[in-house]
Amino acid sequence: MEPDPAKQIQLLRAEIARHDRLYFVEHSPEISDRDYDRLLEQLRQLEAAYPELVTPDSPTQRVGGAPLAEFAHVTHAVPMLSIDNTYSEGDLRAFDERVRRALPGEAVEYLVDPKIDGVSASLRYEHGRLVLAATRGDGRVGDDVTANVRVIRSVPLALLGSGWPDVLEVRGEVYWPRTAFDRFNALREQAGEETFANPRNAAAGTLKLLDSRLVAGRGLAFCAHGFGQIEPLIADRASVLFEKLAGWGVPVNPHRRVVCSIDDVLEFVESWRGRRRDLPYETDGLVIKVDRFAQRAVLGATSRFPRWCVAFKYEPEQAESIVEKVDYQVGKLGTITPRAVMKPVSLSGTTVRHASLHNFDQVERLGVHIGDTVIIEKAGEIIPQVVRVVTDKRPAGARPVRPPRHCPVCGGDVARDEGGVYLRCVNPECDAQIRERLKFFCGRDQMDIEGAGEALIDQLVSAGLVHRFADLYRLKERRADLLKLERMGDKSVDNLLEAIEKSKAQPLGRVLAALNIRHVGRATAELLADHFGTMEALAAASFDELQQVEGVGPEIARSLHGYFQSDAGRKTWQALAAAGVNMCQPRRRTAADLPLAGKTVVVTGTLRRYKRSEIEELIRRLGGVPAGSVSRKTDFVIAGDEAGSKLEKARRLGIPLLDEQAFLKLIGRE
């Protein structure tokens, strides 16, 4: 008797889901990665042979699709608020007192767990299926990153078991585990590409990539830490719901603990002070939450923070070292930043030789001398900085640090900025500025030219191949010269030229940000691009017209107007336009623009062209909400063959009825 392929596929999917849960939730894998890949390959082969049995939640569907033009905006059913920070025992006791005053006579339990330093995301499951993933955004409206989250292996596309609510929004952190991050950075370094500075920022950038195929290979992970909309609410406290989440295959923090007093919270804080570096992810503190949902409802929230939750941030680790010399870095706008070069010292798990001194105003305020013993810490757990000089240990003959009189790179003139804090090289042809501007232009948040990292940019400038932005788009004429560069074979050159060509299609907001106009960051660039629509219209705008854009004040308007009125600015953007770079901003498609925006749709009966799951997914993509039952809130019903009681109820309530063909005509698919 021939084995039933549907049964085989079902068993393989269940087995893979079980191993996913063992690996990501219970942290106790039973098989090797190679054996896991074999199971996945068996499933792929079966589904290739029987494509009609493929479902959207199959493990094989964790593959990137075609790149998006942009992210759609999503309004959160429950706002994703930030968490207020505390830094001391006194702060935590004050929080506890506020909670107990609001809940007189009630027993209060706290749920405490390590705070993962990642990117907040909301995962929406309906009837056990992942239907939407969104970023926090401004807390009320985020970006739809479903395609990217679907390729994160630790995120279940379908919940295991049973008993889940009809609607379950899981809030958590998308993060880059240290080992996966280090491995990916090592590969980039070997390829001569720019490495990522830290896991948190890299995870944020990865989650916002428009091409989910790139996300799939980076090894991001997800861990749940909270909830949004839950209907119906099936537990009275978060700790119980987290236990259920683990059973359904959603990763939760194994180090969470429920405690009964603020003293227990403080004990937990102390116990993790020295252990947090042992975790496989970046963390800078703990999160303390009231456990019972009913008590959370009483406590409520401010416009920014829930009153039932705080984060405790550990003070940054510090180390002591000796300043051997001070060197200078020249940025893309000519800013000269002093940097202390020190005797190597271990700090927060890494060896540190350099620490930022920020600016010469800070150098003077600290009184830094060559030979000084200094205290350093990592700002935001990332960037080493000098915070204090140990003057008692200053040696005889220590020399004060003086600002340079000329640019340390090009020897050109320097000048203080308007506030007198920063020193700038005023030579726009400074070699360091050219390199930094090009690196910024090619960066992930601007033109996103894959492969054009620091090492390659340095080579391109040194070889005289690139001086201006537009020179990048003429490199296809210099293929023979590119092949002479270090680590640039035929394949590398092809990939680079393809990435450069692809970057021509970037929307105006990214192009404008890439121009590196002073005071115009990515957010402001997007506002300007949305407002004016084209670079030509923006360049022609008057000072007053620029200020009419929300978020653009006199300083930004002055900088923009000066740039576009200058010969250098005009030549720069016009040369890019002549090279074929896009100079228009696509019209943003928000949920309100979609044909089924805000519509509740019920499907009943058997359709000819779509399976039930496919039509419901299509409804969601077009802004609608597929519902399982008919009510007065239903906007219309799609009726297929052998429609039953739902069709009769819709007729009784007078709800519009559409057959499959009429529905497809409504959405422009017929």
pLDDT number for residue 130: 94
d(C-alpha 279, C-alpha 589), whole Å: 40
pLDDT digits (tens, 9 = 90+) for 624-669: 877 777 888 888 999 887 777 888 888 888 888 888 878 877 876 6
Which residue out of 7, 115, 502, 665 is catalytically annotated?
Answer: 115
Q: What is the pTM of this model?
A: 0.60
Span(s) in the chain for CATH 3.30.470.30: 73-313
pLDDT digits (tens, 9 = 90+) for 54-90: 887 788 776 555 555 567 888 888 988 888 889 899 9
Q: What are phi and psi of 119, to 5 degrees?
A: -120, 125
For domain 5-61, the CATH class is mainly alpha
Query: What single DSSP character describes residue 347?
Result: E
Comparing 23 with 620, the larger pLDDT belongs to 620
Q: What is the largest CA-CA distance in the chain?
A: 95
Structure tokens at 653: 């309530």
Q: Reply yes or no on whether the pLDDT at 27 is more than 80.
A: no
Least trusted range by pLDDT, from 399-408, 514-523, 600-609: 600-609
Span(s) in the chain for CATH 3.40.50.10190: 594-666
CATH topology of domain 594-666: Rossmann fold (3.40.50)
pLDDT band of 250, cuts 50, 70, 90: very high
pLDDT band of 581, cuts 50, 70, 90: very high
Cβ neighbours of residue 220 under 8 Å, at least 6 residues apart?
152, 174, 175, 176, 180, 203, 206, 207
Query: Is there a contact between 335 and 422 (Cβ–Cβ < 8 Å)?
Result: yes
Q: Reply yes or no on whether the pLDDT at 269 is more than 90.
A: yes
665 flagged as catalytic = no
pLDDT digits (tens, 9 = 90+) for 529-548: 988 999 999 999 999 999 98
pLDDT, the chain, mean:
87
d(C-alpha 461, C-alpha 442), whole Å: 14
DSSP string, 507-572: -HHHHHHHT--TT--HHHHHHHHHHH-BHHHHHH--HHHHHTSTT--HHHHHHHHHHHHSHHHHHH
Span(s) in the chain for CATH 1.10.150.20: 431-578
Other Cβ atoms less than 10 A from the Cβ of 308: the count is 26
Q: What is the CATH code for 318-404?
A: 2.40.50.140
Span(s) in the chain for CATH 1.10.287.610: 5-61
Domain 431-578 has CATH 1.10.150.20: yes
Share of the chain above pLDDT 90, in %: 51
pLDDT number for residue 288: 98
d(C-alpha 570, C-alpha 563), whole Å: 8
pLDDT digits (tens, 9 = 90+) for 112-168: 999 998 999 999 999 999 999 999 887 888 889 999 999 999 999 999 999 999 999
pLDDT number for residue 2: 63
Q: Reply yes or no on whether the pLDDT at 590 is more than 60.
A: no
pLDDT number for residue 383: 79
Span(s) in the chain for CATH 2.40.50.140: 318-404
Distance of CA 320 to the CA centre of its chain: 34
Domain 73-313 has CATH 3.30.470.30: yes
pLDDT band of 451, cuts 50, 70, 90: confident
pLDDT digits (tens, 9 = 90+) for 345-396: 888 767 889 998 988 888 989 999 999 999 998 866 567 899 999 999 999 9
pLDDT number for residue 312: 94
Q: Are strands 221-231 and 257-259 parallel, antiparallel or unpaired?
A: unpaired
Structure tokens at 399: 């020399």
